[in-house]
């Protein structure tokens, strides 16, 4: 039966997202930053929302996510949590606020107290101890691999990651170690579709792709891209407002296309 977007009836838990992976049912994620959009996501049945540090670029006008502060993240997590009582809310820990496990614990506590249900951190095997530290203390963690924007200067730009065998193997190994450490979800950003599919099959945690093809357990897009607000949109994003003409319609069409597997298609995928 085709998916029809409908309001979430009860709060989405991490267990429900894990069950959806087991059942092969894709879930919808949107990165957004304010109460009205958060409320619309709840009405559209968006299972998970991410208060991403992309807000540095999409809302605050910076060139990267690096200048984003804890105070800015907390301000936006609180707004999203006020607008949405049903989606699972993830909050990013910004640049250098989780350089040590102890620092991660202090800052993740603040994000959770602002209303998030999970924190997201960028990086590979070096975060194993941090993931254990947080999850052992009751803070669920979403890991983030591939193009991790906080490392943009290390990568020399916003570049697809994992096209060569060595880097692909590294990302695969990082994913396995973070899964083993207890991470609950994994964002895969800008990696070839084949690699994302391999990782999704190898790990128990659900994967959320952005520029990672159609083989992940879920998709995430930034609300500004969905609504055509980005001046130079990345190849993997899609302006759903163009074909629908209004904001609720754009969000619904995105949700429908993720559920049916129509998005992402070849044109929005890296190989």
Report the sign of the C-alpha dihedral through residues 236, 237, 243, 249, in that order.
positive
Sites for ligand KIV among residues 16-35 (CB under 6 A): 31
Nearest-approach distance from CB 220 to ligand KIV, in angstroms: 5
User: What is the smallest separation between the CB atom of 211 and ligand KIV, expressed in angstroms?
Assistant: 9
Query: 77, 187, 205, 255: which one contacts ligand KIV (CB under 6 A)?
Result: 187
Q: How many residues bind ligand KIV (CB under 6 A)?
A: 11
Of 238, 189, 233, 240, which Cα lies nearest the Cα of 211? 189
User: Does the annotation count 102 as an active-site position?
Assistant: no
- SS3 category, 143: strand
Helix (H) or strand (E) holding 71: helix 70-83
Q: Give residues 33-92 in contact with ligand KIV (rule: CB under 6 A).
A: 50, 52-54, 92
Q: Is 154 annotated as a binding residue?
A: no
Phi, psi of 140 (to 5 degrees): -70, 145
CA 24 to chain CA centroid, Å, is 19
Nearer to ligand KIV among residue 52 and residue 162 (C-beta): 52
Catalytic residue among 180, 189, 256, 266: 189
Orientation angle between helical segments 101-113 and 70-83, nearest 10 degrees: 40
DSSP per residue over 99-137, as a string?
SSHHHHHHHHHHHHHTT-SEEEEE-SGGGHHHHHHHHHT
Q: In the bound complex, what is the minimum distance in angstroms from residue 36's beta carbon to ligand KIV?
A: 18
Burial 147-174 (b: 16+ CB within 10 A, else e): bbbbebeeeeeeebbbeeeeebebbbeb
Instruction: State yes or no: residue 179 binds ligand KIV (CB under 6 A).
Output: no
Does the annotation list 54 as a binding residue? yes
Residue with smallest beta-carbon separation from ligand KIV: 52
Q: What does the binding site for ligand KIV look like in residue numbers (CB under 6 A)?
A: 31, 50, 52-54, 92, 187, 189, 210, 220, 222
Q: Which residues are annotated as a binding site for Mg(2+)?
A: 53, 92, 122
Q: Which residues are annotated as a binding site for 3-methyl-2-oxobutanoate?
A: 53-54, 92, 120
Q: Active-site positions? A: 189
């Amino acid at each position: 039966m085709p998916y029809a977007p409908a309001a979430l009836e009860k709060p989405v838990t991490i267990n429900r997202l894990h069950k959806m992976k087991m059942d092969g049912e894709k879930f919808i994620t949107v990165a957004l930053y304010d109460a009205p959009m958060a409320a619309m996501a709840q009405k559209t049945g968006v299972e998970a929302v991410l208060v991403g540090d992309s807000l540095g670029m999409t809302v605050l006008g910076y060139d990267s996510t690096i200048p984003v502060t804890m105070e800015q993240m907390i301000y936006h997590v609180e707004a999203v949590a006020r607008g949405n009582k049903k989606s699972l809310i993830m909050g990013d820990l910004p640049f250098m606020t989780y350089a040590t496990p102890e620092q991660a614990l202090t800052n993740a506590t603040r994000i959770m107290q602002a209303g998030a249900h999970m924190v997201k951190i960028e990086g590979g095997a070096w975060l194993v101890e941090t993931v254990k530290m947080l999850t052992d203390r009751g803070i669920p963690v979403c890991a983030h691999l591939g193009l991790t924007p906080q490392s943009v200067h290390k990568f020399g730009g916003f570049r697809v990651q994992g096209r060569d065998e060595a880097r692909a193997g590294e990302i695969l190994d990082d994913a396995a170690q973070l899964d083993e450490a207890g991470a609950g979800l994994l964002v895969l950003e800008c990696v070839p579709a084949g690699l994302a599919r391999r990782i999704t099959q190898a790990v128990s945690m659900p994967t959320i792709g952005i520029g990672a093809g159609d083989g992940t357990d879920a998709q995430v897009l930034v609300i500004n891209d969905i609504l055509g607000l980005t001046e130079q949109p990345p190849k993997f994003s899609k302006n759903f407002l163009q074909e629908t003409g209004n904001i609720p319609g754009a969000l619904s069409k995105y949700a429908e296309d993720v559920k049916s597997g129509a998005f992402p298609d070849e044109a929005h995928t890296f190989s």
